[in-house]
Chains A and B, each alone.
Chain A
Amino acid sequence: DQQVKQNSPSLSVQEGRISILNCDYTNSMFDYFLWYKKYPAEGPTFLISISSIKDKNEDGRFTVFLNKSAKHLSLHIVPSQPGDSAVYFCAASARTSYDKVIFGPGTSLSVIP
């Protein structure tokens, strides 16, 4: 049973436009959410996170929105750059088990120059 879902396997966006990556979760115990970016032949790198007590967190071009009632979060990248082309993983953890982070299947983002 997949607790973290990313229903779009891939996304293509023009350079300079907004990229919106979506994520849904099923486990109501999750209270912390993270986005990781992964380039080929590298491990995932942490991008941005959000606690369940917030509904928005911003870091430069990256903003994560959390809708707890819908169990949905999204990552917005504005403006998108070719270097943003990578696989993006949504991940979640619960206060009761910080040590177990559950990842979604990923969305491959291509930013077209």
Chain B
Amino acid sequence: DAGVTQSPTHLIKTRGQQVTLRCSPISGHKSVSWYQQVLGQGPQFIFQYYEKEERGRGNFPDRFSARQFPNYSSELNVNALLLGDSALYLCASNVLSQHGYTFGSGTRLTVV
């Protein structure tokens, strides 16, 4: 079975640009969460979606948005990129009634 897949794996963007990151959850998982991991820190919660509805949002500015599609895949969008948005963006899926996630390998975003 395929795990959580994320694309692209690496991305370089210029300040002020917009970026879209994609995630496909494990088959049967209807919940998708997004995390940002800055070097030297733990993953920080950005969003959680279940059945296309936003169920949770972390302490991130409105430049960050996400959505979930009928097939439960998800996109994370970041507008007006700042240098500080450079990080590893992790997608995770789970069965909502269960604790714990399965993570993808992440998208490494570099803003220059």
User: Cβ of A101 and Cβ of B101 under 8 Å apart?
Assistant: yes
User: Cβ of B103 and Cβ of A43 under 8 Å apart?
Assistant: yes
Q: How far does the alpha carbon of A12 sit from the alpha carbon of B42 in the complex, in Å?
A: 20
User: Cβ of A43 and Cβ of B105 under 8 Å apart?
Assistant: yes
Q: Identify B43's interface contact among A6, A41, A97, A103, CB under 8 A.
A: A103
Interface size, chain B (Cβ < 8 Å): 28
Closest Cβ neighbor of A2 among chain B residues: B42
Q: Which residues of B contact A42 (CB under 8 A)?
A: 105-106
Q: How far does the alpha carbon of A45 sit from the alpha carbon of B103 in the complex, in Å?
A: 7
User: Cβ of A104 and Cβ of B100 under 8 Å apart?
Assistant: no
Residues of B within 8 A of A (CB): 4, 31, 33, 35, 40-45, 48, 50, 55-56, 58, 90, 92, 96-106
